[in-house]
Structure 1
Amino acid sequence: MVSGSRRPNVRGRRASSLAAGGLVLAVVAELASAGLLGLSGWFISACAVAGAATFSSFSYIAPSGGVRAFAMARVAGNYGKRLVLHAAALHRIAAARTGLFDRAAAGERAQEDRLWSGDLLDRSMADADSVGMALIECTAPVAVTAALTVGAVLAVAASTSLVPAVVLAVGVVVMAVIAHRRSGTAREAEQHTRKVLRAEVVTAVDAWTEMASLGAAEQLAARTTARFTRLDTAREAAGRRSRRTGLAGGLIATATLIDTAATGSAPDAPTFVFVVLLSLGVLAQAEQLAAAAEARATAKVAHRRLTTSAPPTASAPTPADIRSWSTEQGIGFADYLLPPMALRPGRVLGADVARGTMLVVTGRSGSGKSTLLRTLASSLRQATEGHERGRPAVVAVAADDHLFTGTLGSNWRLADPSLADDEIDERLAQLRLNESGLTATTPVGPGGRQLSGGELRRVYLGRALARHPHVLIVDEPTTGLDGRTARHVLGILQNLPDTTVVVALHAVPDCLESAGHVTRLPLDHTSQEAP
Structure 2
Amino acid sequence: MSSSSRRPNVRGRPGSSLAAGGLALAVVAELSSAGLLGLSGWFISACAVAGAATFSSFSYIAPSGGVRAFALVRVAGNYGRRLVLHAAALRRVATARAVLFDRAVATGRAQADGLWSGELLDRSMADADSAGMALIESTTPVAVTAALTVGAVLAVAASASVAPAAVLAAGVVLMAVIAYRAPGIVGEAEQHTRKALRAELVTAVDAWTEMASLGAAEQLAARTTARLTRLDTAREAAGLRRHRTTLTAGLIGTATLTATAATGGASDAPTFVFVALLSLGVLAQAEQLAPAAKARATAKAAHRRLTTGVPLTARYPTVAGIRSWSTEQGIGFADYRLPPMALRPGRVLGATVARGGMLVVTGRSGSGKSTLLRALASSLRQATEGGQGRPAVVAVAADDHLFAGTLGSNWRLADPTLTDDEIGERLAQLRLSDSGLTAATPVGPGGRHLSGGELRRVYLGRALARHPYVLIVDEPTTGLDDRTARHVLGVLATLPDTTVVLALHEVPVCLESAGHVSRLPLDHTSQEAP
TM-score by length of 1: 0.90
Mapping 1:86-485, distance limit 5 Å: 86-107=86-107, 111-112=111-112, 115-211=115-211, 220=220, 223-224=223-224, 226-263=226-263, 265-310=265-310, 316-318=317-319, 321-385=321-385, 387-485=386-484
How far off its partner does 1:64 sit? Answer: 1.3
Q: Distance in 2 between matches of 1:465 and 1:102?
A: 25
Aligned twin of 2:521: 522
Residues 406 and 443 in structure 1, CA contact (< 8 A), matched pair in contact too: yes
Which amino acid in structure 1 is aligned with residue 247 of structure 2? L
Q: Do the aligned partners of residues 421 and 168 (structure 1) sit closer, same or farther apart at CA in structure 2, a change above 3 Å counting?
A: farther
Q: Do the aligned partners of residues 360 and 89 (structure 1) sit closer, same or farther apart at CA in structure 2, a change above 3 Å counting?
A: same
Q: Do the aligned partners of residues 415 and 6 (structure 1) sit closer, same or farther apart at CA in structure 2, a change above 3 Å counting?
A: closer
Q: Distance in 2 between matches of 1:34 and 1:78?
A: 13
How far off its partner does 1:57 sit? Answer: 4.0
Most deviating of 465-474 and 65-74: 65-74
Q: Distance in 2 between matches of 1:229 and 1:72?
A: 52
TM-score by length of 2: 0.91
How far off its partner does 1:520 sit? Answer: 0.8
Q: Distance in 2 between matches of 1:463 and 1:10?
A: 33
Q: Distance in 1 between matches of 2:318 and 2:379?
A: 11
Residues 317 and 339 in structure 1, CA contact (< 8 A), matched pair in contact too: no
How far off its partner does 1:113 sit? Answer: 5.9
How far off its partner does 1:490 sit? Answer: 1.0
The C-alpha deviation readout for 1:396-422, integer Å capped at 9, x for no partner, is 111122222332222222111122334
Q: Do the aligned partners of residues 221 and 280 (structure 1) sit closer, same or farther apart at CA in structure 2, a change above 3 Å counting?
A: farther
Instruction: Report % sequence identity.
Output: 83
Residues 249 and 287 in structure 2, CA contact (< 8 A), matched pair in contact too: yes
The C-alpha deviation readout for 1:363-387, integer Å capped at 9, x for no partner, is 11222211221121112111114x5
How far off its partner does 1:360 sit? Answer: 0.5
Aligned twin of 2:495: 496
Most deviating of 141-150 and 110-119: 110-119
The C-alpha deviation readout for 1:452-477, integer Å capped at 9, x for no partner, is 32222112111111111110000111
Q: Distance in 2 between matches of 1:228 and 1:63?
A: 59
Q: Distance in 2 between matches of 1:19 and 1:114?
A: 37
Q: Distance in 2 between matches of 1:415 and 1:10?
A: 28
Q: Distance in 2 between matches of 1:109 and 1:299?
A: 28
Residues 187 and 295 in structure 1, CA contact (< 8 A), matched pair in contact too: no
Q: Do the aligned partners of residues 5 and 377 (structure 1) sit closer, same or farther apart at CA in structure 2, a change above 3 Å counting?
A: closer
Q: Secondary structure at the residue paired with 1:30?
A: helix
Q: Distance in 2 between matches of 1:6 and 1:406?
A: 29
Q: Secondary structure at the residue paired with 2:12?
A: helix
Most deviating of 467-476 and 299-308: 299-308
| Number of matched pairs | 527
Most deviating of 160-169 and 242-251: 242-251
Q: Secondary structure at the residue paired with 1:186?
A: coil
Q: Distance in 2 between matches of 1:6 and 1:471?
A: 27
Most deviating of 37-46 and 353-362: 37-46
Q: Do the aligned partners of residues 185 and 169 (structure 1) sit closer, same or farther apart at CA in structure 2, a change above 3 Å counting?
A: same
Aligned twin of 1:487: 486
The C-alpha deviation readout for 1:227-266, integer Å capped at 9, x for no partner, is 5554454444444334333333433343334334433844
Q: Do the aligned partners of residues 412 and 114 (structure 1) sit closer, same or farther apart at CA in structure 2, a change above 3 Å counting?
A: closer
Which amino acid in structure 2 is aligned with residue 425 of structure 1? G
How far off its partner does 1:201 sit? Answer: 4.3
- Asked if 1:40 is matched to 2:66, the reply is no
Q: Secondary structure at the residue paired with 1:343?
A: coil
Which amino acid in structure 2 is aligned with residue 76 of structure 1? A
Aligned twin of 1:511: 510
Q: Do the aligned partners of residues 107 and 446 (structure 1) sit closer, same or farther apart at CA in structure 2, a change above 3 Å counting?
A: same
Q: Secondary structure at the residue paired with 2:280?
A: helix
How far off its partner does 1:440 sit? Answer: 2.5
How far off its partner does 1:164 sit? Answer: 2.1
Q: Do the aligned partners of residues 56 and 78 (structure 1) sit closer, same or farther apart at CA in structure 2, a change above 3 Å counting?
A: same
Q: Distance in 2 between matches of 1:426 and 1:185?
A: 53
Q: Secondary structure at the residue paired with 1:133?
A: helix
Residues 245 and 287 in structure 1, CA contact (< 8 A), matched pair in contact too: no
Residues 32 and 74 in structure 2, CA contact (< 8 A), matched pair in contact too: yes
Which amino acid in structure 1 is aligned with residue 170 of structure 2? V
How far off its partner does 1:393 sit? Answer: 0.7
How far off its partner does 1:5 sit? Answer: 8.7
Q: Do the aligned partners of residues 205 and 336 (structure 1) sit closer, same or farther apart at CA in structure 2, a change above 3 Å counting?
A: closer
Q: Do the aligned partners of residues 421 and 122 (structure 1) sit closer, same or farther apart at CA in structure 2, a change above 3 Å counting?
A: farther
Q: Secondary structure at the residue paired with 2:169?
A: helix
How far off its partner does 1:208 sit? Answer: 4.7
Q: Distance in 2 between matches of 1:5 and 1:438?
A: 40
Residues 323 and 336 in structure 2, CA contact (< 8 A), matched pair in contact too: yes
> Any unmatched runs of 5+ in structure 1?
none
Q: Secondary structure at the residue paired with 2:132?
A: helix
Which amino acid in structure 2 is aligned with residue 401 of structure 1? D
Root mean square deviation, CA, Å: 2.8
Q: Distance in 1 between matches of 2:294 and 2:39?
A: 33
Residues 521 and 530 in structure 1, CA contact (< 8 A), matched pair in contact too: yes
Q: Distance in 1 between matches of 2:284 and 2:276?
A: 12
